[in-house]
Structure 1
Amino acid sequence: MDHITDPAIDRTIAGQPDVQTLYTAVQIAERLNVSEATIRNRWFEWIEKVVPEPLLKQGKNQYTQLALELFSKFVTVERCDRNQWVIDTKAHYAQEWASAGVIEGELMPEEVGNVLALRQSQTTELELAVAQQLQSLESLIDQANTAESNLSEADLKAAVTRGQQRAVMLYQAELQAELQTMNSLKQRRMQGGQE
């Protein structure tokens, strides 16, 4: 069956289908090239697992724009993939509905939706601020680690230099003592032969 992409599906500001346009099962069946009974009896039970009936139907035989959109997507789903389709589609619409003021398929008053949208916006801003602060903190830690590493290298170099200086001083003192002793002994020997 062909997947129907219908440019006539209008969307509202929040990206939700316009629920004001209504279709009969016959109209949807003709668009999707299936029987009316398939729409009413077999597919509707799957669509209803994604969205509550009040958002899909008005009256007994009138389907909403959202129902048309879901039927248009469902037409391509293989029989063995239907449960996964329900899970995936529910997740997809849950994200859209959160910003449109719908929770678990129930329409909320506009004030509540606005408060939730504001809260979501504030949360997003807060998350961005925290991410920036975390990045600054990580940068500061990296700088401290580098400075500590450089300090450790400087301390190590200073210790090596002090060790070398001490070794040179010891060797110099030893050499001076040796030379003085040798000179003293030589002088004594030379003086001993003159007396």
Structure 2
Amino acid sequence: MNDTAPYIETNAQTYTERTYTAQQIAEENNVTDATVRNRWFTWICKVAPPALLKQGKSYTELAHTLFNEFAKVDKSERIAWVADAKARYSSEWGSVGVIDCEVMPDVVGGTLALLQTNLQASNNALSLELAEVTDFIGQLNAVDADYSQAELETWAANGAKKAVAQFKTEEIARAQTLNALRQKRMGGDSQ
């Protein structure tokens, strides 16, 4: 059986060399430590297994890197960022046989890493498609709102045309009647 002790030490160290407190990460990104612990960590856990992100109450170098990236992401682009970050970082631990922080023999680890990578690629594609569908629904809602506004404007224009036609008809009838009465008064018909 293979000895995994040296393997663990050399490969796990890249993620655990230095640790950071929530306060340190918060100060670097101008947010509160509660935001780092409660809001942002939830998003970061969508990218990497929590065991690779924390050591006790401290955060690993990987978590620190992900927090710093996440701080620059617009709120509307977070889903896409998760998909992108998974694609970029999962190969770093998946290809060496780390699945949820368990070290596997190379053969099993490689197979599981390949399966996990394929699953993550599918999930990434699904996340991107879901984001696109959500944007499309937003666009449809905007079009519906515009269409309703256009209908209202059409109805208002039709109402204005009818009011003008009614006004013209009434004024013409009033003027004709007034002229006929004036002609009678001035000596017109004596019938």
Q: So what's the TM-score if we normalise by structure 2?
A: 0.51
RMSD: 4.0
Q: Tell me by how many angstroms 1:98 deviates.
A: 6.2
Structure 1 unmatched runs, 5+: 1-19, 21-53
- Tell me how many residue pairs correspond in the alignment: 130
**Higher mean C-alpha deviation, range 170-179 or range 95-104:** 95-104
* Superposition pairs of residues 109-148 of structure 1, within 5 angstroms: 109=108, 110-148=110-148
Q: So what's the TM-score if we normalise by structure 1?
A: 0.50
Inter-CA distance 98–154: structure 2 relative to 1 (3 Å threshold): farther
The residue number in structure 2 matching 1:65 is 10
**Is it true that 1:88 corresponds to 2:88 in the alignment?**
no
Q: Tell me by how many angstroms 1:104 deviates.
A: 3.4
Q: Tell me by how many angstroms 1:120 deviates.
A: 0.7
Q: Tell me by how many angstroms 1:111 deviates.
A: 2.5
* Superposition pairs of residues 24-43 of structure 1, within 5 angstroms: none
Q: Tell me by how many angstroms 1:88 deviates.
A: 1.5
Instruction: Name which one, 1 or 2, has greater alpha-carbon Rg.
Output: 1
SS of the equivalent of 2:60 reads helix
Distance 1:98 1:68 in 2: 12
Inter-CA distance 98–146: structure 2 relative to 1 (3 Å threshold): farther
**Higher mean C-alpha deviation, range 149-158 or range 115-124:** 149-158
Aligned-partner residue type, residue 117 of structure 2: A
Assess if the C-alpha contact under 8 Å between 2:16 and 2:60 holds in 1.
Answer: no
The residue number in structure 1 matching 2:99 is 103
SS of the equivalent of 2:132 reads helix
Assess if the C-alpha contact under 8 Å between 2:99 and 2:112 holds in 1.
Answer: no
Q: Tell me by how many angstroms 1:185 deviates.
A: 2.8
